[in-house]
């Protein structure tokens, strides 16, 4: 049986879009003032500063792309919200994830692409164990979407029969524990990005202070 309780998922996404827009306006204002000063006084240094700003923007983009939900929060999502959340999760860890149509998806809720690899993903937001049907559906999706592999992700667990069928068809399985482990891994990765952005910000401040002193 699937979870169907309402959640604040859409509000969270809208909140992040608002923050991204607000931060973007501030960043553009600062970039304009800094850029004007550098073009006038130190044109070559502008290239270095633009590289630093680009690096910071790239780090910020990956840092804010996903709110890390607990498993309890994931359980409160409905089926479609779970698919959208997985799409953001896979995007954050380096895949290009496309969420398929809500109905008539031909066995794949997401299509992952990276380099020349295409992976069909079946998302199962269940309260009980996931059986053979999910494996059969995603195996059928491999040929339909021209994929090289398949995966089933759930917030629950798989039956022993489903595990055997997945092994026979080389389908990767993410159960509740594996999904949680990936979220924890991403959390640690994002913590490192926070340190990186703080370091970049620190040295950018030093450089700007140095340029101001030169101007004086």
CATH fold, domain 79-180, is Trna Endonuclease; Chain: A, domain 1 (3.40.1350)
Q: What number is the average pLDDT over the span 78-95?
A: 90
Distance CA 158, CA 139 (A): 16
Across the range 188-192, mean pLDDT stands at 60
pLDDT in tens, 54-73: 555 555 544 444 567 888 99
Burial class (CB in 10 A: 0-12, 13-18, 19+), 86: buried
Q: Which two tokens stand for residue 197?
A: 């952005």
Domain coordinates in residue numbering, the chain: 9-67+190-215, 79-180
Q: What is the mean pLDDT of the chain?
A: 75
| DSSP three-state, residue 116 | coil
In the structure, what pLDDT confidence band is assigned to residue 5 with cuts at 50, 70 and 90?
Answer: very low
For the chain, give the percent of residues with pLDDT over 90: 44
Q: How do the residues of the chain divide into helix, strand and coil, expressed in percent and rounded to 5?
A: 65, 15, 20
pLDDT at 203 (0 to 100) = 55
Asked if 135 and 118 count as a contact pair (C-beta separation under 8 A), the reply is no
Q: How far is Cα 106 from Cα 166, in angstroms, rounded to an integer?
A: 18
CA 75 to CA 73: how far, in whole Å?
Answer: 5
Name the pTM for this structure.
Answer: 0.62
Q: Summarize pLDDT for 16-63 with one digit per residue, the tens.
A: 444 445 555 555 556 556 656 655 665 555 556 556 555 555 555 444
> Of the candidates 23, 53, 25, which has an alpha carbon nearest to the alpha carbon of residue 208?
53
**How far is C-alpha 199 from the geometric centre of its chain's CA atoms?**
23
* DSSP category for residue 78: -
The span from the CA of 50 to the CA of 48, in Å, is 5
Task: Report whether 97 contacts 91 (CB < 8 A).
Answer: yes
Among 9, 85, 59, smallest CA distance to 189 is for 59
Contact between 5 and 79 under an 8 Å Cβ cutoff? The reply is no
Q: How far, in Å, CA of 14 to CA of 55, rounded? A: 25
Tell me, what's the pLDDT at 15? 47
Is the pLDDT at 3 greater than 50? The verdict is no
CA 214 to mean position of chain CA atoms = 42
- Count of residues in the chain: 216
The 10s digit of each residue's pLDDT in 135-183 is: 999 999 999 999 999 999 999 999 999 999 999 999 999 999 999 998 8
Token representation of residue 39: 């073009």
């Amino acid at each position: 049986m699937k979870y169907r309780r309402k959640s604040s998922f859409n509000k969270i996404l809208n909140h992040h879009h608002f923050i991204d827009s607000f931060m973007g306006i501030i960043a553009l204002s600062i970039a304009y003032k800094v850029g004007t000063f550098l073009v006038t006084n130190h044109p070559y240094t502008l290239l270095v500063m633009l590289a630093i700003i680009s690096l910071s923007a790239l780090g910020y983009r990956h840092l804010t792309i996903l709110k890390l939900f607990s498993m309890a929060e994931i359980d409160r999502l409905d089926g479609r919200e779970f698919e959208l959340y997985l799409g953001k999760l896979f995007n954050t860890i380096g895949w290009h994830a496309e969420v398929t149509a809500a109905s008539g998806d031909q066995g794949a809720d997401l299509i992952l692409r990276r380099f020349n690899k295409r992976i069909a993903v079946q998302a199962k937001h269940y309260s009980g164990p996931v059986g053979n049907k999910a494996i059969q559906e995603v195996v059928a999706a491999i040929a339909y979407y021209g994929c090289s592999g398949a995966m089933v992700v759930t917030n629950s667990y798989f039956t022993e029969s489903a595990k055997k069928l997945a092994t026979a068809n080389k389908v990767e399985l993410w159960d509740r524990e594996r999904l949680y482990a990936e979220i924890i891994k991403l959390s640690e990765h994002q913590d490192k990005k926070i340190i990186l952005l703080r370091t970049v910000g620190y040295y950018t401040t030093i450089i700007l202070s140095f340029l101001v002193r030169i101007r004086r």
